[in-house]
Amino acid sequence: MTLRETWDAQAAEWTRFARDPRGDSWNPRFNLPRFLELLPPRGRRALDLGCGEGRLARALAARGYAVVGVDSSAAMVAAASETVEAVVADAGSLPFDDGAFDLVAAFMSLHDMDDLDNAVRETARVLEPRGRFCFAVVHPFVLPGRFESREESARFLIRGSYLDSHRRDDLVERDGFRVNFAAAHRPIESYSRALEQAGFVTERLREVRYEGDDSRRHRVPSFLHLRAARL
């Protein structure tokens, strides 16, 4: 299955996981708040790229942004549409006019897309000149690695290659949830090159720390946040 097919197949379970504090605890606790700090002030219109069940779009709407979500999964869009405007479309072929937005935000979705380069090129097309593109992904350092044990001093080991792109599937089963976190590992350079080729210049880059009780994770970044401007 492609990444797109994998996430579409588990849309209902993901929606349940994302909306339950027992499930997706990291994002509301520290990932989403740090990401919102990266965004420019609300402007004309914002696009939530890969909106999933709508968590970012809801946060933006609550802050006064005029926002529309887009996702390739009809089931995800149906869930998002319960609270915000959302449409079904592929990130590589967006149904919007050139320059339709001044902000495109992709929160924890780019690494779930099969075609990064086309998604970034389409993002540039629908952004107005000097429009901003902000995205959050699992930090590329994290996906190819693992802590060797649960001890506080455990080493974090890279298995395989950090520099080579590959798919990663992590099946999480806990508290009555069962979600396959399917993602494409890509080194930071892949994101940088995609931005360069689409005509973006990077403005800000943040490596977001874990804010929880697992002291092992305080030594490695959990998420990568980036803000770029369209030239």
Q: Each residue's pLDDT tens digit in the chain (231 positions)?
A: 999 999 999 999 999 999 998 999 899 999 999 999 999 999 999 999 999 999 999 999 999 999 999 999 999 999 999 999 999 999 999 999 999 999 999 999 999 999 999 999 999 999 999 999 999 999 999 999 999 999 999 999 998 899 999 999 999 999 999 999 999 999 999 999 999 999 999 999 999 999 999 999 999 999 999 999 999
Q: How many Cα atoms occupy the beta-carbon half-sphere of 156 within 13 Å? A: 15
What is the predicted pLDDT for the residue at 159?
A: 86
- Indicate the domain borders of the chain: 3-139+187-230
Question: How many CB atoms neighbour CB 192 within 10 A?
Answer: 15
- The residues, ordered by sequence, that sit 6+ positions from 33 with a Cβ below 8 Å of its Cβ are none
pTM for the structure as a whole: 0.96
Residue 226 tokens, joined:
């980036």
H helices of the chain, in order, are 3-9, 11-18, 26, 32-38, 55-62, 74-80, 116-126, 188-198
CA distance 179 to 6: 10
Phi and psi of 228, rounded to 5°? -130, 155
CA distance 51 to 72: 9
CATH of span 3-139+187-230? 3.40.50.150
